[in-house]
Structure 1
Amino acid sequence: MAAEQDSAGGERLASDRVFGVIGGLLLLLGLVYLVRSFLPGGSDTGAGPAPAAAAVPALSIVSPSAGAELAQPAAVELDAGTALVAGPTGWTAEGRHLHLFAGGTELMATAAEMQHLGGTRYRWTLPRLPAGETTLRLAWSDERHRTIPEGASPTVPVRLR
């Protein structure tokens, strides 16, 4: 290989220069990628706008109504806004699963507790809960059981007997 003198008097091979140019190009490419990832649109490939994230279905409690007095075992009729499927993380839809908050108690329905009523409506028979005033609210959770605020139902105050 051809060698040349560098400014310090040492030899520098042509391959050193080639590897230096390749390394510089890789650094420049990494810098361009990093800058593009912080721009609006992220690391867009130029193929058009990124698809919007799927909207989180709105949950609603159809029954009981606010102020209802419920004998136990109580049932909640709900509209999930989408079809639910029984899975290993509870009743799921599009990577999310359903939780019910009854006061300070957080519940996930078992397969036996949920009944499909048609469309996106379901009846959830709750396990026995402490009697007294409480509130009911439905919310989606992710695979780590973290509550997803979007799509949660309004809170419904009830009295359990």
Structure 2
Amino acid sequence: MAADKDSEAGERLASDRVFGVIGGLLLLLGLVYAVRSFLPGGSDTGAGPAAAAVPALAIVSPAAGAEVAQPLVVELDAGTQLVLGPTGWTADGRHLHLFAGGTEVMATATELQPAGGTRYRWTLARLPGDTTTLRLAWSDERHRTIEQGASAPVPVRLR
């Protein structure tokens, strides 16, 4: 009878070890998944701005080297449809910022007008200086610039 109890205890000890190892592996896998989801671009869910492809921005007008009147109208191609949201004109959780030299601006509801397809016209408030370089970039919900998809710089003369 004592041998039967020892055999049962040995079997229980072996199964406890197996289940313990399996439980430890599952905990480790959960930890790896949790850490990856907090890293930039670490989510594989396909949702949100980190996972979606970033559309390329382009300044269609004015052309590089152009002399332009103020208020300046910039025609842009967003590479995607924009919608007006709480953080400005957005696409997949990103919104537009325009850099004009040392000035960074975000389009208000009335400054950006659809021009067909993925093109828009942005009427800017008066910019300082007589020459500047324009560049468009996406920003995240905290207004951090996303370099991927940014437009080429376009130098212009202001009058």
The interval holding the TM-score normalised by the smaller chain is: 0.7 to 0.9
Taking the aligned partners of 2:144 and 2:61, their CA distance within structure 1 comes to 25
Tell me which residue corresponds to 1:5. Answer: none
| SS of residue paired to 2:104 | strand
| SS of residue paired to 1:106 | strand
Change (3 A) 1:51 1:98: closer
Matching of residue 57 in structure 1 with residue 55 in structure 2: yes
List runs of 5+ in structure 2 lacking aligned partners. Answer: 1-12, 38-43
Alignment-mate amino acid for residue 26 of structure 2? L
| SS of residue paired to 1:137 | strand
Taking the aligned partners of 1:35 and 1:134, their CA distance within structure 2 comes to 49
| SS of residue paired to 1:27 | helix
List runs of 5+ in structure 1 lacking aligned partners. Answer: 1-16, 43-48
Alignment-mate amino acid for residue 27 of structure 1? G
Change (3 A) 1:84 1:30: same
Tell me which residue corresponds to 1:121. Answer: 119
Tell me which residue corresponds to 2:78. Answer: 80
Tell me which residue corresponds to 1:27. Answer: 24
User: What is the CA RMSD across the aligned residues, in angstroms?
Assistant: 3.0
How far is 1:99 from its partner? 0.5
Tell me which residue corresponds to 2:149. Answer: 151
Taking the aligned partners of 1:36 and 1:98, their CA distance within structure 2 comes to 34
How far is 1:50 from its partner? 7.2
How far is 1:55 from its partner? 1.5
TM-score computed with the length of structure 2 as normaliser: 0.74
How far is 1:26 from its partner? 2.8
Q: 44, 66, 89: which is aligned to 1:91?
A: 89
Taking the aligned partners of 1:70 and 1:133, their CA distance within structure 2 comes to 10
> What percentage of residue pairs aligned between the two structures are identical?
70
Give the number of the structure whose alpha-carbon radius of gyration is greater.
Answer: 1
Taking the aligned partners of 1:87 and 1:51, their CA distance within structure 2 comes to 21
Tell me which residue corresponds to 2:6. Answer: none
TM-score computed with the length of structure 1 as normaliser: 0.73
Taking the aligned partners of 2:70 and 2:59, their CA distance within structure 1 comes to 17
Alignment-mate amino acid for residue 144 of structure 2? R
Taking the aligned partners of 1:111 and 1:34, their CA distance within structure 2 comes to 43
Q: Which runs of 4+ in 1 moved over 3 A?
A: 20-25, 34-37, 49-53
Change (3 A) 1:116 1:51: closer
How far is 1:72 from its partner? 0.7
How far is 1:23 from its partner? 5.7
1:48-72 Cα deviation digits (max 9, x unpaired): x976932211100000000111111
